[in-house]
Amino acid sequence: MDVTIIRFPGTNCDFDTANAVKKILGTEPKIVSCKENEIPKSDLIIIPGGFSYGDYLRSGAIAAREPIIDDLELKGNQGVYIIGICNGFQILTERKLLPGSLMKNSSLKFISKNIELKIDRNDTFFTSKYKPDEIVSIPIAHHDGNFFADQETLISIEDNNQVALRYLEPINGSLNNIAGLYNKDLNILGLMPHPERAVDKKTGTNDGSRIFESALDFYSK
């Protein structure tokens, strides 16, 4: 399975993500600079967490305009699987590859802790190893994770069953407690929780590992 991780100035979860990929998918991911014009042949592209360009302007706003994102958009439209984690989710919304936007947490404070989430659907590339409506524990670490969309967009998201997972309890002001969502074709996923930090019970939880296991299971069929 060919996996590529895109690195930006300020990315700080690239090695954690690479280690999770190696541990669960059994492959060495390519880590490429956002200054490249093309992404290597990939079955899965990951935009990891961090603070690209120091979150200047808006979180993910500058990163979404880097050269490599043109090719990311092209590959996403061709059906390549893409996951954006935390800052990666912000970048995907800034590029309009996912609907809505991520605003400052309603508390105006950085939140870093394990939280409970509900899996909304388990029939996708990213979630087949979960049970329907399963409650899982995965850490979050963000200041701008408050999901917002206008009412028309929010209705469309719900009607199209694009919500991937929800906070079990209100945590940051996100509408409908949305913690992650898909594009309409279900090949692009953005989520604020960090599954790469939840792949070993020694760190508190391994509930995030099944996102990677689901991808491997899909690819192996």
- Token pair in block for residue 184: 């309409």
Q: Spot the catalytic one: 13, 94, 142, 196.
A: 196
Residues 179 and 192: beta-carbon distance below 8 Å: yes
Query: Is 196 part of the annotated catalytic residue set?
Result: yes
3-class state of residue 25 by DSSP: helix
Q: Spot the catalytic one: 13, 86, 94, 142.
A: 86
Buried b (16+ CB within 10 A) or exposed e, 161-176: ebbbbbbeeebbbbee
φ, ψ for residue 22, nearest 5 deg: -65, -40
Query: Is 142 part of the annotated catalytic residue set?
Result: no
In a 13 Å sphere around the CA of 214, the CA atoms on its Cβ side amount to 20
Query: Is 73 part of the annotated catalytic residue set?
Result: no
Catalytic residues: 86, 194, 196
